[in-house]
Amino acid sequence: MRFVSRCAAVVAVGLGMAHSAAAQRQDALGELDALVERWMALRTTMAEEKRDWEARREQWAEEIALLEREAATLKEEIDAGHTFASSVETKRAAVLARKERMEAERRKLRAVLDRAEADLRRWRERIPPGLRASSATAFDALPATQKEAEKRPLPKRAQTVAALYTQIETLQNRFHATRETLAVEGARRQVDVLYVGLARAFAVSPGNDWAAVGVPSNTAWTWTPAIPDAAAVRRAIDVLNRRETAQLVALPMRVAAEVAP
């Protein structure tokens, strides 16, 4: 009995060891499978990373090439700039000096434009109503206030001033005939008017029985009756309008003191 028991114990121990070995092999296989799966996942990740890296490398290569070209262009510009300045500080000083000169010139131009615009506003009142229509739009382009003027670009302001002075110069250098209604000595008269530039004007009634001489001022034109000269004024207007042949006409031109601007 003792022998049989011992044999049974030996068999049981053997079976237990075999079962333990089988379990260990099973665990080892499971661990191996897990390692294989992780390895395959790692290889897949490595492949994806490689593809991404190749794509990024191509993109970065293009960007590097572009940056290198830009760097070469900038280097050429810098080298060209060194022809005019021996160092960065010298170039910077030159730029700052130029900027200061430009600012000084801008201040001078701004002051000139301020005076010119103020002068042109007075001219607007000096231009008679019969001749004002041709320049009204240009006068409306002037800034109404100093604050508005400061907001406008200087080139635009200069163009407006130049255009207005050109129109005024055109009016100054020509004779003009208009029909207007004048208020003289408390009475309103419809008359034909001959303007000699913007310096003098001569008015005559349709019946040629009344005439006057006009002199400009800063606010309005001043009219002085000159009835004996009505026929001469009418003849001058007819010559200008080509109703009569060209001829010399004596007009009552009187020299007056210049009006201060």
Residue 91 in any domain: the answer is no
Nearest 10 degrees: CA dihedral of 177, 178, 179, 181? Answer: -120
My answer on whether 70 and 138 are in the same domain is: no
126 class by beta-carbon count within 10 Å (0-12 exposed, 13-18 middle, 19+ buried): middle
Count structural domains, the chain.
3
My answer on whether 1 and 79 are in the same domain is: yes
My answer on whether 77 and 1 are in the same domain is: yes
The string of pLDDT tens digits covering residues 101-160 is: 888 888 888 888 888 888 888 887 778 877 877 666 678 888 888 888 888 888 888 888
My answer on whether 6 and 79 are in the same domain is: yes
The string of pLDDT tens digits covering residues 165-185 is: 888 888 888 899 999 998 888
- pLDDT reported for residue 195: 92
Residue 52 in any domain: the answer is yes
Residue 252 in any domain: the answer is no
126/141 Cα distance (integer angstroms) = 18
My answer on whether 20 and 72 are in the same domain is: yes
My answer on whether 191 and 129 are in the same domain is: no
Residue 251 in any domain: the answer is no
My answer on whether 112 and 64 are in the same domain is: no
Region 63-87 average pLDDT: 73
Tokens coding 62? 């293009």
Residue 69 in any domain: the answer is yes
Question: Per-residue pLDDT for 244 more than 80?
Answer: yes
Q: Quote the domain boundaries for residue 214.
A: 176-240
My answer on whether 134 and 185 are in the same domain is: no
The string of pLDDT tens digits covering residues 221-235 is: 888 888 888 999 999
My answer on whether 166 and 153 are in the same domain is: yes
